[in-house]
Amino acid sequence: MTLRVYNTLSGEKELFEPVIPGKVGIYLCGPTVYKPAHIGHAVGPVIFDAIKRYLTYKGYQVTWVVNVTDVEDKLIAAARDAGKSVPELARELEQQYVECMSALGVRSIDIMPRASEHIAEIIAHIERLIARGAAYVVAGDVYFDVSRDEDYGKLTHRNPEEQFAGTREGLVQAAKRNPGDFALWKAAKPDEPAEVQYDSPWGRGRPGWHIECSAMAMKYLGQTFDIHGGGMDLKFPHHENEIAQAETDTCKPFAKYWLHNGLTRFNTKKISKSDPEFEKVMQSLQLTNLLATHSPELLRFLILQSHYRSPIDFSDQALAASKTALDSLYRLLERIQRASGADPYEVSILAEQVKDDGTHPAVAELLGTAIRLQVRFLEAMDDDFNTAGAIGVLFDFAGHVNRFLDATRLETNAVEPLRTALQGATGTFMMLARLLGLLIERPQKRGGDDGDAQKLMDLFIEVRKMAREAKQFQLADVIRDRLAELGFVLEDGQDGTRWRRA
């Protein structure tokens, strides 16, 4: 099976072939730490975490870099507003970001370089561009000369002349030679704090936006690396300018594949800071707030349920639908636990490793299905990381296992070969789910310790059982209904009554 990825550069799906066989370098544009992250900021990291898991599964040695831009205009302004120093605010928001990502299961980032700690690399990069005649100094500022990059605009398929022909007079900074030129280095302004002023050959100042990414990507992944990712909104100017800087500097291709994820929308609009009426919505979409009220896995599941290039419409309805779906998977795992006598989170054998002694036809059927579905899952992932299709396969899988359990009545009547087959199918199922970063850990029990609850529920169930045996169904129903109101659901099964939290 071969992996194909959609490359923004070519506008087509291409066969994935790493620059160095067996190794993959990924650079994802991370946060500019000037405000708390919202759900949209989680999309890229979640997708790329799944991509890294998948590539690792396929045998590649993956290095994943996510930058932190901590020297920047808005950050300086935000720190001033908050009465904090720039590094203080930046570290604070960075830590919050890392914690949110970790909660979402994104723990596979290898390097998170900070722009502020790569000033030397940035300056060297700029000096090389000046030496090549592709950048020029104006009163302490340094600009990239777009006209010196022949294929400028190739990522977003823009012709720079057309592009900037219509730029209004007022917007053209006098210092720039061409309207499309952009700052590589910005001279320090008198009112800016000292901590964002760095010495440079052109005087005190700080890097422009874009340059930190090409400098750090090349430092950690080499002059040419495999995958560069980010949100669709970064294609222009950010990524276009990174390409211009890097390729003009090295005369080599920068990133081989450019992957862009869709933007998160709310009420069919992109979440944007410049939209004041969405300020309130954004507040509720802040990751820290969302994670306080929803399970991280649910958010991850929702993100992965659509293809990464599609926009995600985030809403309470979507969240609720995803929750119902995800819960059915948790219930399946509980059912498997009961039927197989093994903890599905710990099962280590795969369907393909189970030997079928031929005594039960259901064994061959289940194992065959598991292997067939595994192939379908992997095919989906091979097709530009189609996580939505892959999740669809997971639900097909769940349906098959539920049917198997219905048919064999394994929960009440243990048959060893069937149990072993179930464990194998479960192992395969879990392995696939985990390629998406799902079902890694048991869902957190709400309300913490259920020890006391367990004792009380045992009592309720016992009393209700007596009522049912005495045909006092009204009483039995009152117990069940009132418990349901309190968030405890009772389920009567063949092997007794179980309870769970709603």
Site for RNA in 202-241 (CB under 7 A): 209, 230-238
Size of the chain in residues = 502
Alpha carbon separation from 142 to 151, 189, 250, 439, 465 (Å, rounded): 21, 14, 19, 50, 80
* Residue with token string 């039927």: 339
Footprint (CB under 7 A) of RNA, residues 116-155: none
> Do the Cβ atoms of 494 and 409 come closer than 8 Å?
yes
Restricting to residues 149-188, which ones interact with RNA according to CB under 7 A?
156-159, 162-164, 166-167, 182
Residue 375 region, left (φ>0) first, then alpha (ψ -120 to 50), else beta?
alpha
- For residue 157, give Cα distances in angstroms to 13, 149, 226, 275: 17, 14, 21, 28
Residue 141's SS3 state is strand
Whole-number minimum distance, CB 199 to RNA, in Å?
24
CB 435 to RNA: min, Å: 16
Closer residue to RNA (CB): 23 or 294: 294
From 112-120, 355-363, 424-432, 490-498, span contacting RNA (CB under 7 A): 490-498
**492 in contact with RNA (CB under 7 A):** yes
Closest CB to RNA among residues 31, 87: 31
Under DSSP, the state recorded for 262 is: P
Q: In terms of CB distance, is 88 or 491 closer to RNA?
A: 491
CB-wise, 253 or 311, nearer to RNA? 311
Options 324-332, 346-354, 420-428, 436-444: segment touching RNA (CB under 7 A): 324-332
Closest CB 357 distance from RNA, rounded Å: 26
Contact 150, 117 (CB under 8 A): no
Ranges within 427-486 binding RNA (CB under 7 A):
468, 473, 476-477, 480
Which residue from 202, 257, 178, 191 is spatially nearest to 224, judged by alpha carbons? Answer: 257
Q: Is 309 a residue that touches RNA (CB under 7 A)?
A: yes
Enumerate residues 377-436 that contact RNA by CB under 7 A. Answer: 380, 383-384, 386, 388-389, 391-392, 395-396, 398-399, 402-403, 405-406
Instruction: Tell me whether residue 131 or residue 466 sits nearer to RNA (CB atom).
Output: 466
Per-position x/- string for 63-82, each x denoting binding to RNA as judged by CB under 7 A, each - no binding: -----------x--------
Contacts 24+ apart (CB under 8 A), 411-416: 411/335, 411/338, 411/339, 411/493, 411/494, 411/495, 412/494, 412/495, 414/339, 414/341, 415/360
Least separation in angstroms between residue 207's CB and RNA is 12
Answer for which of 25, 36, 44, 205 binds RNA (CB under 7 A) is 44
- Among 102, 310, 348, 412, which residue sits at the site for RNA (rule: CB under 7 A)? 310
Measured between alpha carbons, how far is 145 from 177 in angstroms, rounded to an integer?
7
DSSP string for 291-322: HHHS-HHHHHHHHHTS-TTS-EE--HHHHHHH
Note whether 94 binds RNA by CB under 7 A: no
Quote the radius of gyration of the chain (alpha carbons, Å).
28
Q: Return the residue of 321, 414, 459, 466 that touches RNA, per CB under 7 A.
A: 321
Is there binding between residue 24 and RNA (CB under 7 A)? no
- Distance separating alpha carbons of residues 366 and 182, to the nearest angstrom: 60
Q: Which stretch binds RNA (CB under 7 A): 18-26, 321-329, 357-365, 436-444?
A: 321-329
Minimum distance of RNA from residue 462's CB (angstroms): 14
Which range, of 28-36, 79-87, 412-420, 455-463, touches RNA by CB under 7 A?
28-36
Return the ∠ at Cα 175 (arms to 200 and 119), rounded to 5°: 20
Q: Which residues does residue 258 pair with via DSSP β-bridges, in sequence order?
A: 228
Amino acid making up residue 303: I
Nearer to RNA, 127 or 396 (CB): 396
Burial grade of 38 (CB within 10 A; 0-12, 13-18, 19 or more): buried
Nearer to RNA among residue 147 and residue 349 (C-beta): 147
Counting residues that bind RNA (by CB under 7 A) gives 86
What does residue 353 show for φ and ψ, rounded to 5 degrees? -95, -5
User: Is position 3 an interface residue for RNA (rule: CB under 7 A)?
Assistant: no
Of 363 and 394, nearer to RNA (C-beta) is: 394
Binding to RNA (CB under 7 A) within 251-290 occurs at: 261, 263-265, 268-274
Whole-number Å distance between alpha carbons of 234 and 478: 57
Q: Does 373 bind RNA (CB under 7 A)?
A: no
